[in-house]
Amino acid sequence: MGAYVAVPESGSGPGMVVLQEIFGVGGYIREATERLAGIGYVALAPDLYWRIEPGIAHEHTEAGMGEAFQTAQQLDHPLAVRDSIAALKALRQLPEVTRGKAGVLGFCLGGTLAFEVAVQSDPDTAVCYYGSGIPEMLDRAKEIRCTVLFHFGGQDPYIPREQAERVCAFARNESNMECHIHLDAGHAFDNHEAPMFHQPEPAGRAWAQTTDFLARTLPA
């Protein structure tokens, strides 16, 4: 399984696994790893489509989205969770990662996978951006031992508002969880490569909340 890795200027730091959207590890996900490296993290984005075909990266267009949905339907989801956990273990072993500390951050498909990694494994922290599979797996959230941050869009056509509110209601009663519903945001609002999704204002707000959360839960 290949991966894109970004290292901070300092040469070391805690690790963050970055889990892809349905488009694959393209320019947007690589930029997200660089963004994390810019604030002090050794970031690694595994190619979770490698079992289908290594290096798949669909364009962030209407046509590319159709192709991405087709590829995502071929993904063996339980194996993708296992691959994500393997990526976390591999990241912790890199000499650049300080004290073997590493978390996970995912967008869309990756947001759901990040939640499942937190359930099934031991990341030091987790950030889940608009993971559509999370509400239906909420009964497993009690198994999570690390800190978790959830982001949802209040106008997301793929995740009904009431489902996002259910996750946030659960998180309010858990000392290790935080949840934000960005009322002015749709789906994939952080994705600056997808004109049909990107919304700069909620994206900037969510990223500020994410960096604050990481500074508290896995400081670089």
- Whether 198 is catalytic is no
Which is the catalytic residue, given 58, 60, 182, 187? 187
Q: Which of 47, 58, 60, 108 is catalytic?
A: 108
Contact 130, 156 (CB under 8 A): yes
Q: Which pairing describes strands 3-6 and 42-46: parallel, antiparallel, or unpaired?
A: antiparallel
- With tokens 């660089």, the residue in question is 34
Give me the phi and psi of 72, to 5 degrees please.
-60, -30
- Would you call 128 a catalytic residue per the annotation? no
**Which residues have C-beta within 8 Å of that of residue 1, sequence separation ≥ 6?**
46, 47, 48, 50, 83, 86, 87
Residue 174, pLDDT score = 97
Question: What pLDDT tens digit does each residue of the chain (220 aa) get?
Answer: 999 999 999 999 999 999 999 999 999 999 999 999 999 999 999 999 999 999 999 999 889 999 999 999 999 999 999 999 999 999 999 999 999 999 999 999 999 999 999 999 999 999 999 999 999 999 999 999 999 999 999 999 999 999 999 999 999 999 999 999 999 999 999 999 988 899 999 999 999 999 999 999 999 9
Place of tokens 């650049």: 96
Residues 81, 117 contacting (CB under 8 angstroms) = yes
Q: Output the pLDDT for position 62.
A: 87
Active site residue 179: no
Residue 168: burial class (beta carbons within 10 Å; 0-12, 13-18, 19+): middle
What integer pLDDT is reported at residue 43 of this predicted model? 98
Return the H-helix or E-strand segment holding 3: strand 3-6
Catalytic residue among 156, 179, 180, 190: 156
Write the secondary structure of 126-159 as one string of H (helix), E (strand) and C (coil): EEEECCCCCHHHHHHHHHCCCEEEEEEECCCCCC
Determine the number of helices (DSSP H) and then strands (DSSP E) in the chain.
6, 7
Provide the edge-to-edge strand list for the sheet that holds 97-107: 3-6, 42-46, 13-19, 97-107, 125-129, 147-153, 177-182
Which domain does 9 fall in, by range?
Answer: 3-217
Number of domains, the chain: 1
Helix (H) or strand (E) holding 45: strand 42-46
Q: CATH number of the domain at 200, please.
A: 3.40.50.1820
Q: What is the SS3 assignment for 191?
A: coil
Which pLDDT belongs to residue 194?
87
